[in-house]
Structure 1
Amino acid sequence: MLRSLKIKEIAIMLKNIIVYTIKASLLPIIIPSLAISLLFLVFGVRSESILGVVAILQLYIIVLQTDISLRQHLVLELQHQPLFEIRNLGMHYGRKSFVSGASRCADAPAPKT
């Protein structure tokens, strides 16, 4: 497959991968490391700055645990909401999700009678 791609296309793909990786690592890697390095630059390597680093790392762990728990909750919630598609002779009328006895229907055109 790579032989059929031109060098320009490969360069664009690599550029997109690098840009996406930088955007994805902005919050979990770049911002905390900048805060820690700024703390060391301002106060030097003393006990106060090390305490600040520990506090920053604790906040970082709390944020990551919250993010993971919210994602797990969303996955668990989506597992218990069955989704049914209503079709009639190839026409699609919408999706219904049945949650605790009540039904919700997504926006769909009304059936022609």
Structure 2
Amino acid sequence: MQHSQCNFKICDLGHAKYIGLNGLAPPCPNCGTIGFRAPEIVKREAHGFKVDVYALGVTLFNLALPFNRKQQSQRGITNCCMLQHLPFATNIIEKCCQDDVRRRPSALQLMELVSGPGQL
């Protein structure tokens, strides 16, 4: 993502991992990028595809933060965060970043949410 003043933000969704036929991967403490890891990875629990949904939510949140860190520290994160102007994005981020994997949407549910009518 590029800002008009040529400041860049780099996003990272971690690395790929094999998911078994049961839809779960064995516990892996080193999977994903620190700060983007879903709670089930941090707790060293078996996990599935919803860890990617969690990482997407964290990535979207980070993209909504201001580019100017000085401005962020002066005004506070909530005053200069773009999310206050994007309630739809806030809703998506909140759903993606659910700590409880059962409340977190699947990728398909997320696509349905952003592409048209329907509720999670």
TM-score of the two chains, using structure 2 as the length reference: 0.30
Structure number with bigger Rg? 1
Q: Could you say which structure has the higher strand fraction?
A: 1
Q: Could you say which structure has the higher helix fraction?
A: 1
Bigger relative contact order, structure 1 or 2 (CA pairs below 8 A, ≥6 apart): 2
TM-score of the two chains, using structure 1 as the length reference: 0.31
